[in-house]
Structure 1
Amino acid sequence: MSDTAAFIYWYGAMILMSIIGLPLAQYLFHDWRDKGYIFARYIGLFLVAMPLWLLSSLHIVQFNQLSVIIFVVAGVSVAGYLIGKRKIKLTRGMIAQELMFFIFFAVWCVIRSYNSDIFGTEKMMNLAFMNSINLTEYMPPADPWYTGGTINYYYLGHYMYVFIAKLLGISTGLVYNLALTSIIAQFTVSVYAIIRRLTVKRESFIADNAALLGAVWISFGGNLHYPYKFIESVFSGEVFKYFFPDPTRIIPFAIDEFPAYSIVLGDVHGHYISLPFFVLGLALLIASSRVAFDDARKLKLTAIISVFIISMYGVNSWDIITMLFLFTAMHAVQAYQTGRHWKKLASDFVRLQLALVVPGLLLMLPYIFNFTPAVGGVGLVQFDQRSPIVPWVQMWGFFIIGSLAYASFVVLRKRERSQLGLLAAVVVVILAMFAVESANAEALKGNAMWLIGWSIVRITAMAGFAVLLWNRFADKKTLFVAPLFAVAAFCLIEGVEIFFFKDIFYTSNPDYFRTNTVFKFYYHAWVLWGIAVSWFFFRILTAVKGRPRLLSAVALTGFILFCMSTSYIFKAVNDFYPVNANIPIERTLDGTAWITTDHPADDALIDWMNANIEGQPVILEAVGEAYTYAARISTHTGFRTVMGWPTHEWQWRGEARLAFDRADDVRVMYTTQSATELHQLLDQYGVEYIVIGQEEYTKYQDINLPLLQSQFEPLYSQSGTMLLKVR
């Protein structure tokens, strides 16, 4: 299928999902100006994909193209009936959001076509998951890199996109990049819709632009590190050298990524796949916040929301922690707003919390029973291991500026001199500590007393701002959500300075013990705090709109900061995509096309195997390091191999021995001098085909080719690449 046809079919499927989800979206977001139109897309996908996943998990219905078509036709039929019955009509807001989605989707498809290769970082892992799911009839899908096991990782997001692939009959090489680009489009427009809802105003130039600029900033903006380093180079007179991953590794021994980096890098990984689902969860929280705590509809609404929230556990398990925290906090604030005695509220609160968890938990039981988290508890971060001032401020600088601006605005309007003095003191202390650490970075590195002092200042500032927001909005039944997002972001950011989850990084490389914890919760905080800051900016603008000069000054300042942040995306795109290169480029959205040029022999074998071998057999191929070309046949076919990337299997299964023992066995099977030993190991793993190509010759230079050829017939042989049939 051509790129153009795939693009059109995929976009058509997106429209189809929106139609399926529109009736429920209108019910959930009935008081939104746009009726939650943009969220209908993923609601619709959820409504047709998840029931099939459940029935497949229970071995009632096979996951294949016919079942997918039946579920989609049923979904469209029911939606069409409800749309007609309720007389749902398109509005200008809906059309505008669809146009925004199309523009972002199309632009990123064009950009991605300059470097669509599914290679490097986690890309091959994600493609392997997609191809395995594509061959799966009954869930859970087989682990393509660990024969005999199922995928012990979050795979539901990958499943959703394979569901669309089966519907359309599009190859996973194309689906990978179409999913990548549609995710950022959906995320950006969803954030726009959320900010626009929080601004409340029905028709407002300020509200529309605050929402649009806020969404673009959150999706495509970088942190303060990039402009900081540029300014630093100007003053030092040095040549400005910068690579787009630089701002994502500034917190020592951690990962501090953000959406703009993810879309450019192109890993369709759990944290990125979950972005549209995460913001759907935020939208559902806003919808729930509009229904009073003691309203009879609250319990029913919460039960419906539950299936969307708890299912996030299978898309990116970290999301569910933040979501449950947010909903619990929202319920607590609403309970406080009723003014009733806490004893009378307790039973209602418990019922709501059960409604939030139980329905979704029942849906997810098949996933939970087949998933073993590779986490060994929670640990405490020592003071000398916490984030230094300079990288922390570089990470959150734009958010800090926005929050301080709003705090200053509130204090100045109240004319509270004492609070203004306290605010000024906090700013001065932070700037002074930043300057001291900048000048003495090595001397203060890991200094516990210095980091304790910084923690006290940071917590004091966050707590003070949280109190300011509480005093101003705790009693406002329709205005507390954005402040809640800000406070939740503070809790996440500060929480990773105190606690961490004990995962593979903790056991395999102790210096990086909190890498994953910082990574996943910073990602959430970026979205939450970004939405809150956009709302703060809107509040300031609307308050000064009657004073043209002040309005212009505030708007100009905000726009300058916006440009400083979003300049990162242009640098990142220029680094990763040769859009300005004066060389001929074969542009394509097929992420597997590069193999035809770089590895033609492997490409021919993969095509032959996909065309001639049915089912999901076990193959033997070379084992290799993570993020390399290793496990290339299982990745591009979805067939099971004895071992793919050992470190990843260690991460997923929690035991290094399980992975590395298999890697040793693979070496033995390729190099042994004993036919008995060879057959014993092949039988142990149920190997049906043996791959012998350039990767095997390179990895196992003592490969016993005569023995292998004497024992098994060559099913395929071309350009020095062979496929031997074992059974």
Structure 2
Amino acid sequence: MLIYPFFTDFSNGSLSTPVKLVTGLDHTPISRFLVLLWPLLLLIVMGLFEPKYRKWSITIALTFAFMLLVSEMIYIDDPTEGKYLRTNTVMKWWGWIYVGGIVSLGAVCLGSSKMWIRWSTVVILLLVNAYAYDVARHWVYSTKSAMGQLEGHAWYTSDGSHRDMFNYLQAQPFGILLENVPDNAYMNSSIYALFNNKAILLGWPSHLRTWHGDVPQVWNTTNDIRRFYEGKLANSADWLQVNKVNYVILERHQDVGAFELIHQQIKDDYTWQRFSPQQQAAKGIWTRKILFKNQADISQ
């Protein structure tokens, strides 16, 4: 209840995501539906015949059967389209439906008074857990370089240059940080801001579109950032000043070719600090010589 006012206001700015009916070829092919969900489907059937906890088992079985049916009949019409039309709906619904059904119906059927239900359930659960072999094999043979490091960035800061850049930013005052956005989502962009208590100028554009609506400013800023990292943005220094950017990250090898173009445009206002060895592609941070102040309110 306390967070309801926030969600009400937050949702007002998001894109409309109505519920729509699944039609035609967008339905899951029967063969794939069975291959993916056969353990749950079998437990649903056995739950209908369980005599010991009959009312309870039938209630659970019909509930999960109904949820599977609903997941095949409707979807949330979000920005994904084409063959990915049902991706978010299926990905986010089937996971908890499957686990919830396996755990609840599995427990009921294991306690059944009928031997064939008990042993059928044992076989199903053993087959479901066969993937434990792959999990164990991965555990045995994979590297353990990030073991015990729960920060979530050990895979990235294992690179000495990245680690030094993180350490540098952690010691700097709070402020707006600029990273490239080469794609619209699912990329490393924002990693330096998120893990080092800085405000990112722009996050993942497609996700901003989802949660804040199709705001033209998002796409205008995205294009400006990409032109900046190509060294083709006119008046780059003025643009950084307008956006009150204190830190500019250069770490993608694709952006290195434009280093001189960028540096020549902003060197009067920003100090370059290199973190990669000289024989490697340039990685580093431009820090504004006179940091923008009064940015603490951004962190609230």
Query: Normalised by the size of structure 2, how large is the TM-score?
Result: 0.78
The 5 A counterparts of 1:100-499 are: 360=1, 362-371=2-11, 372-408=13-49, 410=51, 473=55, 480=56, 483-499=58-74
1:592 Cα shift?
2.4
What CA distance in whole angstroms lies between the structure 1 residues aligned with 2:101 and 2:275? 56
1:564 Cα shift?
0.8
1:363 Cα shift?
4.5
Quick one: which of 267, 271, 275 aligns to 1:714? 271
What CA distance in whole angstroms lies between the structure 1 residues aligned with 2:146 and 2:92? 33
Q: Secondary structure at the match of 1:504?
A: coil
Cα shift readout 1:583-631 (whole Å, capped 9, x = no counterpart): x743522132333433x222212111102x233x111222233333333
Distance 1:656 1:523, change over 3 A: farther
Quick one: which of 165, 175, 187 aligns to 1:605? 165
1:701 Cα shift?
2.8
Bigger share in strand: 2
Cα shift readout 1:52-106 (whole Å, capped 9, x = no counterpart): xxxxxxxxxxxxxxxxxxxxxxxxxxxxxxxxxxxxxxxxxxxxxxxxxxxxxxx
Determine if the alignment matches structure 1 residue 592 to structure 2 residue 153: yes
Aligned position for 2:295: none
- AA aligned opposite 1:568: Y
1:490 Cα shift?
2.0
1:535 Cα shift?
4.2
1:665 Cα shift?
0.7
Distance 1:655 1:673, change over 3 A: closer
Return the structure number with greater relative CO, CA threshold 8 A, min gap 6.
Answer: 1
Q: Secondary structure at the match of 1:637?
A: coil
Aligned position for 2:279: none
1:694 Cα shift?
3.3
Aligned position for 1:698: 254
Quick one: which of 215, 219, 222 aligns to 1:663? 222
Q: Secondary structure at the match of 2:158?
A: helix
What CA distance in whole angstroms lies between the structure 2 residues aligned with 1:572 and 1:660? 41
- AA aligned opposite 1:402: L
1:394 Cα shift?
1.5
- AA aligned opposite 2:120: T
Cα shift readout 1:150-186 (whole Å, capped 9, x = no counterpart): xxxxxxxxxxxxxxxxxxxxxxxxxxxxxxxxxxxxx
What CA distance in whole angstroms lies between the structure 2 residues aligned with 1:656 and 1:388? 37
- AA aligned opposite 1:366: F
Aligned position for 1:681: 239
Quick one: which of 98, 121, 144 aligns to 1:526? 98
Distance 1:483 1:531, change over 3 A: farther
> How many residue pairs end up in the alignment?
278
What CA distance in whole angstroms lies between the structure 2 residues aligned with 1:487 and 1:682? 59
1:645 Cα shift?
2.9
What CA distance in whole angstroms lies between the structure 1 residues aligned with 2:144 and 2:3? 47
Structure 2 residues not aligned, in runs of 5+: 277-281, 292-300
Distance 1:373 1:672, change over 3 A: closer
What CA distance in whole angstroms lies between the structure 2 residues aligned with 1:667 and 1:700? 13
1:494 Cα shift?
0.9
Contact preservation (8 Å) 1:606, 1:633 = yes
- AA aligned opposite 1:382: T
1:570 Cα shift?
2.6
Distance 1:529 1:555, change over 3 A: closer
What is the identity percentage for the equivalent residue pairs of Structure 1 and Structure 2?
16
What CA distance in whole angstroms lies between the structure 2 residues aligned with 1:554 and 1:487? 17
Q: Secondary structure at the match of 1:698?
A: helix
What CA distance in whole angstroms lies between the structure 2 residues aligned with 1:684 and 1:654? 23
Q: Secondary structure at the match of 1:688?
A: strand
Contact preservation (8 Å) 2:270, 2:287 = yes
Distance 1:385 1:526, change over 3 A: same
Bigger share in helix: 1
RMSD between aligned residues:
3.0
Distance 1:569 1:659, change over 3 A: farther
Cα shift readout 1:339-375 (whole Å, capped 9, x = no counterpart): xxxxxxxxxxxxxxxxxxxxx2x54223432344434
Distance 1:512 1:364, change over 3 A: same
Aligned position for 1:54: none
What CA distance in whole angstroms lies between the structure 2 residues aligned with 1:484 and 1:374? 36
Distance 1:724 1:698, change over 3 A: same
What CA distance in whole angstroms lies between the structure 2 residues aligned with 1:367 and 1:409? 42
Q: Secondary structure at the match of 1:398?
A: helix
What CA distance in whole angstroms lies between the structure 2 residues aligned with 1:487 and 1:405? 11
1:539 Cα shift?
4.6
What CA distance in whole angstroms lies between the structure 2 residues aligned with 1:681 and 1:518? 42
Distance 1:499 1:609, change over 3 A: same
Contact preservation (8 Å) 1:486, 1:528 = no
Contact preservation (8 Å) 1:377, 1:501 = yes
Contact preservation (8 Å) 1:376, 1:503 = yes
Structure 1 residues not aligned, in runs of 5+: 1-359, 414-468, 474-479, 545-550
Cα shift readout 1:660-680 (whole Å, capped 9, x = no counterpart): 322211133341474xx2244
Query: Normalised by the size of structure 1, how large is the TM-score?
Result: 0.35
1:536 Cα shift?
3.6
1:382 Cα shift?
1.0
Q: Secondary structure at the match of 1:702?
A: helix
- AA aligned opposite 2:247: Y
1:658 Cα shift?
4.3
Instruction: Out of 387-396 and 630-639, give the one that drifted further.
Output: 630-639
What CA distance in whole angstroms lies between the structure 2 residues aligned with 1:530 and 1:632? 37
1:515 Cα shift?
1.5
Cα shift readout 1:118-147 (whole Å, capped 9, x = no counterpart): xxxxxxxxxxxxxxxxxxxxxxxxxxxxxx
Distance 1:595 1:483, change over 3 A: same
What CA distance in whole angstroms lies between the structure 2 residues aligned with 1:673 and 1:504? 29
Distance 1:593 1:485, change over 3 A: same
Contact preservation (8 Å) 2:110, 2:121 = no
1:396 Cα shift?
1.8
Contact preservation (8 Å) 1:381, 1:500 = yes
Contact preservation (8 Å) 1:631, 1:644 = yes
Contact preservation (8 Å) 2:178, 2:200 = yes
What CA distance in whole angstroms lies between the structure 2 residues aligned with 1:401 and 1:706? 64
